[in-house]
Amino acid sequence: MPTSAPLLPPLSDAERDQLEALLDALPPPLEPLDLSALDGFLVGVLLQPRAVPRDRWLRHVIGAASLPLPAGMNLAAVTALVQRRLAELDRAIAGRRWFDPWVFELEADEHGDSYPPSQVVLPWVAGFAAALDAFPALLQIDDEALREPLATLYANFDPEDLEDADDLSALIEQVAPPQSVAEAVEDLVRCTLLLADVSRPQATAARRPPSRRS
């Protein structure tokens, strides 16, 4: 009997650090995504109603969407690590399960104050929005159920940066800012899975917020 392909294991913390180092080492003029933006970007790719070929989304990850790759560049190590994170996120989204977004606490500002939760998750949301800008099929779905989760995510942006979300502006104004980083992170997961109910529906999917992992 044929055997199924083995599951790609999640990245360890050390491997995540390795991925960060590999991305940081990519030479100019490449401008790779940072880890948090990369994570949001991969979720945006996975929420597309049709699979995006790897060669297309990978160019955005390494910052070469409109640039030729430097001659002789070997992306095998970067690709392998990113592909494993993509597979981990894909399993969580397909199973409507909790996942841990790559969101990192920010150092206090020059006055010693902590940044608001929306700013902590903003790099992740920016990566997510970049994916939807590059691959807009999700946004082209005509379904009212997309609006609340999209508005919740986009509410993390400064209003001046939301000129492309005019149709959601009224909803965004109604979104209460998260009171803690934990709440902001939970919103990332909840909205991801609600969007998946529209773009990647399950046969028996019930549109309800997921329970946070205990």
- If you average pLDDT over residues 194-207, what whole number do you get? 82
Q: Whole-model pTM?
A: 0.89
pLDDT at site 142: 95
Q: At the top level of CATH, which class does the domain 13-106+114-199 belong to?
A: mainly alpha
52-61, 109-118, 137-146, 170-179 — which is least confidently predicted?
109-118
Which one-letter amino acid corresponds to residue 46?
A: L
Residue 180: CA atoms inside 13 Å, Cβ hemisphere, count?
A: 3
- The number of residues in the chain equals 214
Q: How far lies 57's CA from each of 41, 127, 133, 145, in Å? A: 9, 12, 12, 26
And the tokens for 70?
């430097």
| Residue 109 burial (C-beta neighbours within 10 Å; 0-12, 13-18, 19+) | exposed
Domain extents for the chain? 13-106+114-199
Per residue in 7-33, pLDDT (tens digit) is 888 999 999 999 999 999 999 889 999
